[in-house]
Amino acid sequence: MNSRFSPTPASAATRNKAPGVSRLAALQMVSAPRVEDNLAAAGRLMEMAAAQGADLVALPEYFGIMGLKDTDKVDVREAYGDGPIQAFLSAAARQHGLWIVGGSVPLVSADPRRVRNSCLVYDNTGAQVARYDKIHLFGFQMGDEQYHEARTIEPGRQPVTVESPFGRLGLSICYDLRFPELYRAMKEVDIILVPSAFTETTGRAHWETLLRARAIENLAYVLAPAQGGRHENGRETHGDSMIIDPWGTVLDRLPRGPGVVIADIDLSVMQGLRRNLPALSHRTLT
C-alpha cells in the first residue's frame, strides 16, 4: 500500500497487523541543504509511519543534508554519539516507540577534510544499537554528470549486522548495492537495508534490478528508502523507494517525491521459502 500523505489511524493499523507480522516503513525524501528543515520533514514522515503501525522505519542516505556543495556535509559532521541529527533520531525512536534506521549521518573521521557516511540504528527506547560506515564509495562520470565520494568520505571496512525483534538486519548504503559479496559476508540476514540517494541516471537503469537481485539471491526482505526528486543543488535523485520480499516481489513503492512506503513482513514466509529453495545452503564458494 502506497501511503504518501494519508496516514491510517494507529489503532486501525495495529488491529490489521496479523500475529507474528512486523510492519516496515521506508521514508522517501527530497532533502535540502539545511539540516533543521530536513529533520522537520523527516519528523513528519515518521509520524505518518507510526500512525500506520510501523515497527521499524528507515530513512534515506543523506536525509539530514543534501548540500549545495559536497563539502557541506563535512561542515555539519558530528562526533559519534553527539550532535543534532543523532539526538533527533534517538528522540524520535523513543517518542514513537519505533526502531529507526538513520540512512546516513555525516560523522567525524580521521581526515578533517572527510566524513564517515554512517548508517545508525536506534531501538524503540532511543538507544543507539548499531553503526555501519559505508564501504563502497560512488564514483561516476558521464558527460557533465560526475560524482567522486572518495573526496569527502572516508570508507568503512567492516560489514555490520544487528539483531532486532523483526529479524537480523544487514546494513548497507546506496553504492554498496552493486557489490553482492558484501551481503554474502553478512552470513544470512532477514532484512537488508539499502538507504540510498541513487542518481536518476543510474537509478533509472539499475536500481530495481539490483534491489530485486539482492532479495532473490539472499532470500531476504529488502527495505530501500531513497532520495527522490530535484534537489536545490541541481541533483536529481531517482527515488522509487520500495520494500521487496524474499521472492523478489515488490510489496510497495513510491516513484517520486516525499512519502511513506510501508508493508508487512512475515519471517515464517521467508523461512518457508528457504526450506523450499535452500540455495543458501547450496553455496560451494565462500
How many domains does the chain divide into? 1
In a domain, 7, yes or no: no
- Indicate if the pLDDT at residue 18 is higher than 80: no
Given 73, 78, 119, 134, the catalytic residue:
134
Annotated active-site residue in 78, 154, 174, 200: 174
Could you tell me the pLDDT band of residue 16, with boundaries at 50, 70 and 90? low
CATH number, position 33: 3.60.110.10
Q: What is the pLDDT of residue 143?
A: 85
**Own/partner pairs, 71-75, CB within 8 angstroms, 24+ separation:** 71/152, 72/33, 73/106, 73/115, 73/152, 74/106, 74/113, 74/114, 74/115, 74/152
Identify whether 119 is a catalytic site residue. no
pLDDT tens digits, residue range 208-256?
A: 999 999 999 999 999 999 999 999 999 999 999 999 999 999 999 999 9
- pTM of the predicted model as reported, rounded to 2 decimal places: 0.94
What pLDDT digit, counting tens, does each position of 172-219 carry?
Answer: 999 999 999 999 999 899 999 999 999 999 999 999 999 999 999 999
| Predicted local distance difference test score (pLDDT) of residue 7 | 39
Please report whether residue 11 resides in a domain: no
- Position 6 in a domain: no
**Can you give the residue range of the structural domain that contains 120?**
21-278
E strand map for the chain: 22-28, 56-58, 99-108, 115-122, 128-133, 139-142, 145-148, 160-164, 167-171, 191-193, 221-224, 241-244, 250-254, 259-265
- The yes-or-no answer on residue 73 being catalytic is no
User: Has 134 been annotated as catalytic?
Assistant: yes
The verdict on residue 4 lying in a domain is no
78: in domain: yes
Tell me which of 61, 78, 149, 200 is the catalytic residue: 61
- Give ∠ CA 149-258-62 in degrees, rounded to 5: 20
How high is the mean pLDDT of the chain? 94
Q: Is the pLDDT of residue 146 over 90?
A: no
Model pLDDT for residues 19-74, shown as the tens digit of each residue: 779 999 999 999 999 999 999 999 999 999 999 999 999 999 999 999 999 999 99
Is 188 part of any domain? yes
* Residue 161: inside a domain: yes
Q: Within a domain: residue 109?
A: yes
Residue 11 has pLDDT above 80, yes or no: no
The whole-number pLDDT of residue 234 equals 94
Integer angstrom CA distances of residue 279 from 161, 188, 220:
21, 11, 12
